[in-house]
Amino acid sequence: MEETISMPLIGDKFPELEVQTTQGKKKLPDEFKGNWFILFSHPADFTPVCTTEFVAFQKRYSEFKKLNTELIGLSVDQVFSHIKWEEWIKEKLKIEIEFPIIADTGKVANRLGLIHPGKGTNTVRAVFMVDPKGIIRAILYYPQELGRNMDEFLRMIKGFQVADKNGVAIPANWPNNELVKDRVIVPPATDTVTAKKRMKEYDCYDWWFCHKKI
């Protein structure tokens, strides 16, 4: 009986994959062990929206690296196409792409669930955020016609790191939340004794909604 391989989900270990990239062959997730990494797919090389995305990622590459985060792109294109596109971006837009791009025949895209039949045969704009232990922490999907917001990805990585370090949750629009501004959410109490203490220990709207400065 043929084994059914399901697409990876949040909380899963990132699948072990050997990939060909513009910077040589790499094994994922081991290549980035000890680092966060963002794997993002794009529909195709030499397309306008994808070009704006790659420029946007590169412009923020140093900011990602300061957060111990690497980038790796992917599309169902040959490595020669990726290299030529990189050359075009450097020549025409004066931006040099420094992160690797995976050249895929469709095997990697299918393993990661990046081909959505209702949107054609190209990869959708998917984003996988993976932590230093190789665990998938977030998955986002965008259609081909909508470019992504890289500042949100920076915010998410910062939020994950703050949450992990401090054992807290991150509010909406952090660090500019409408209720608690740049403060973070204290996990709700799970027993009556702790619930009664909460109002004295933290700033709270109620025992189940407390926040603090970090």
Same-domain pairing of 189 and 93: no
Same-domain pairing of 48 and 80: yes
Q: Confidence class of residue 144 from pLDDT cuts 50, 70 and 90?
A: confident
Question: What CA–CA distance (Å, rounded) separates 210 from 214?
Answer: 13
50 tagged catalytic? yes
The answer to whether 182 and 174 are in contact (CB under 8 A) is yes
Task: Determine, yes or no, domain membership for 188.
Answer: yes
pLDDT of residue 110: 85
Same-domain pairing of 93 and 191: no
- Out of 67-76, 88-97, 116-125, 152-161, least confident range: 116-125
Task: Determine, yes or no, domain membership for 7.
Answer: no
Give the orientation angle of helix 79-93 with respect to helix 48-59, to 10 degrees. Answer: 70
The one catalytic residue in 17, 28, 38, 50 is 50
Task: Determine, yes or no, domain membership for 161.
Answer: no
User: Which tens digit of pLDDT belongs to each residue from 147-162?
Assistant: 999 999 999 999 999 9
User: Which tens digit of pLDDT belongs to each residue from 160-208?
Assistant: 999 999 999 999 999 999 999 999 999 999 999 999 899 899 999 999 9
Q: Which domain range does residue 211 map to?
A: 167-214
Number of domains in the chain: 2
Same-domain pairing of 59 and 90: yes
Same-domain pairing of 112 and 197: no
Same-domain pairing of 174 and 106: no
User: What is the model's pTM?
Assistant: 0.92
Same-domain pairing of 52 and 113: yes
